Amino acid sequence: MQIGALQNLNYLNLFHNNLTNLVPTQIEDLPQLTYLNLSYNNVVSSNEHALCQSKWWNLSNGGSHHYCDWDGIACDGVGRVMSINQPRIYSQHRQLADLNFTELKRLKYLNLSRMGITGSIPIDMGGLQNLNHLDLSCNNLSGIIPTYIGDLQNLTYLDLSCNNLSGIIPTHIGGLQNLNYLDLSCNNLSGGIPYLIFNMRDLQHFDVSQNQLSGGIPEELGNFNNRFHVDVSQNNLSGNVPDILNSYFHVDGNFSHNKFNGILPSSICSDPPSCSIDLSYNSISGSIPREFGRLQYTNLSYNLLSGYVPSEVYNSFPHDILNGNRELLGLEKIHKASKSLLKIIIPLTIFLAITFVVGFILFGSFKKHKKSISEAREAKNGDLFSIWNYDGKIAYEDIIEATEDFDIKYCIGTGAYGSVYRAQLPSGKIVALKKLHKREYGNKFLAKSFHNEVKMLSEIRHRNIVKLHGSCLHNQCMFLIYEYMERGSLFYVLNYDDEAKELNWSKRVNAIKGITNALLYMHHHCAPPIIHRDITSSNILLNSEMEAFLSDFGTARIIDPDTSNQTILVGTYGYVAPELAYTLVVTEKCDVYSFGVMTLETIMGRHPGDLILSLSKTCTESILLKDILDSRLPLPSQKDAGDITLLFTIALACLNPSPKSRPSMQQVSQRLLSSNLPLAIPFNNISIQHLANEDMPIMQ
């Protein structure tokens, strides 16, 4: 059928195909057409610079406005350009000055990121009064940030990151009261941060990291509404540590690699539901307030801190957050001081000896009685730790006995909110227990997280998802019972040389494939789909055979197609998809991004933060794949080299800043089936830029 015969057609979307040649003239005569999208193809028009004025772009009908999209240019129904999103027809321009913005007064959306544009920001952009989204990131722009930026009062999104801009941050930006996203990172900006910026109450994302900024910032940051992400790391900022107040719904602050001094404020983030602060690599002195133990995460490493470490901090975080503070006194020194108390309890020794004799006599009769109870219990319950039929009271008694009431000698790991214990049951079965810290029992958010994990893991079954045997969710004792994983977390294995060497290339490939299968099951085989929301190397466990299992479903969420699926920002810094910082709409593609980070981390043997940043700067042409692999392993064999190259290509596709451009886990799984294909070029010659340019089919 010829397209011209579709007289009732009103919606035609041919986005992102391989169409070539001229646009069919038959489209001009379609009387009912109200939407046409031919973007991201190779079609051409006889007059590309008059697209919005041509007959068949002017689709207004009785004054109503319709929408057309041609390689990123969006026009309204009366021939006026409304938005530009990386248009192909402008790809030959290398300077913004070549574009005539004076004729685009109604422009609302402008995205020219990653186009290799040079020169300065032209003055005629100051006339775009209707603009609300401006993204010029990841180009080669130079010069200063013009002051007229402050005249664009409708701006809600401004991204000038990863350029060569210099000079100061103009104070006029502080007048953009509608702005909620501001990213000026990875430039050569100097001077101070204008204080007016910290009075922008709607600002949710503020990033000026990796510049040459100096001076201080307000000591109290409490003017913002709801969630707030601030990153001022890798500058020359100084002064007192900012005191982030409790007016946020979520706060994520990175103040690392600066020159902040003074002491830590005890009122920081008072009673927050979610608060993460990184103050590493500064010159902060004094002691650590015990209030820091209530943060979701903190990093105080490489400062000048001194004194004893409060137990609230010591028991809540990994101990490496305190590295590089030579004057800190660990808890073991506190224990030494406690030895002086022995003088007090010596007089009690005689009394205890007498009590022991009496107790020994009673123990014999008690042991006989307990044996009979144990036999009756086993006959009654069978497998005590089947989540479907175990007797909670009896199971609880078994756990208390197996761990000697959660004695520290059975503890095999400690996290921010709980500890993990190894327990051998009377049947000989070994399980892992995740127990909430006592100080968190009253936390409704954590109680909800525990209930959520029980609900999720009791409804889903997959070979690469950790198995839940049972649970105890009481207001005075909360723990979950899992199958035991002998090798611990992937994070642990990668951070110890001997363990990392044992995790060879083929085992790493199999581990990544195992997590792929788990996410494929959750996203595509569960109805409705389930999103994990916190995929990290710490939440991937390895058994004795180094097989990978996905764990920690406390923040997992079922996707409801009838709702907006907006949520609070959860997850681990460095793994969270960038769009969550300003949309808070969770989709399967958020898991896909985290999967990409985890895959690179497994291959590189370390978190890929620096590599991800270099990708945004388009400076990867000289980086060879072989040079960033985990150096603790020899270069992969021919078979493993093909798998590693394919996984790296997939990971880069998963890290695409645009969620729609990332593959689904179904597409990732299908692509992995082609892992036996030979390499097109020698492994030692493969560059990161080459892999980043590899095409991977994306399903919209």
E-assigned strands of 217-344?
A: 220-221, 228-231, 236-240, 243-244, 251-254, 259-261, 275-278, 285-286, 297-299, 304-308, 327-329
- The single-letter DSSP state of residue 99 is S
At which residue do the structure tokens 């422009």 appear? 107
- The single-letter DSSP state of residue 129 is T
**CA pseudo-torsion sign 453, 454, 458, 462:** positive
The answer to whether the beta carbons of residues 49 and 28 sit under 8 Å apart is no
E-assigned strands of 339-391?
A: none
Strands 488-489 and 212-215: unpaired
Distance in angstroms (rounded) separating the CA atoms of residues 302 and 279: 9
E-assigned strands of 338-448?
A: 411-414, 418-424, 430-436
Q: Which helix (H) or strand (E) holds 542?
A: strand 540-542
The answer to whether the beta carbons of residues 422 and 407 sit under 8 Å apart is no
- The single-letter DSSP state of residue 464 is T
Helix axes 505-524, 638-654, angle to 10 degrees: 40
Distance in angstroms (rounded) separating the CA atoms of residues 7 and 23: 18
Strands 418-424 and 411-414: antiparallel
SS (H, E, C) 598-660: HHHHHHHCCCCHHHHHHHHCCCCCCCEHHHHCCCCCCCCCHHHHHHHHHHHHHHHHHCCCCHH
Residue 447: Cβ within 10 Å count: 16
Distance in angstroms (rounded) separating the CA atoms of residues 700 and 25: 27
Tokens at 554, concatenated: 């406390």
Burial group, residue 335, by CB count within 10 angstroms (0-12, 13-18, 19+): exposed
Torsion of CA 39, 41, 43, 45, to 10 degrees: 30
Distance in angstroms (rounded) separating the CA atoms of residues 409 and 425: 16
Amino acid at 324: G
Q: What residues are labeled active site?
A: 534
Burial group, residue 348, by CB count within 10 angstroms (0-12, 13-18, 19+): exposed
Q: φ, ψ for residue 394 (rounded to 5)?
A: -65, -40
The answer to whether the beta carbons of residues 483 and 432 sit under 8 Å apart is yes
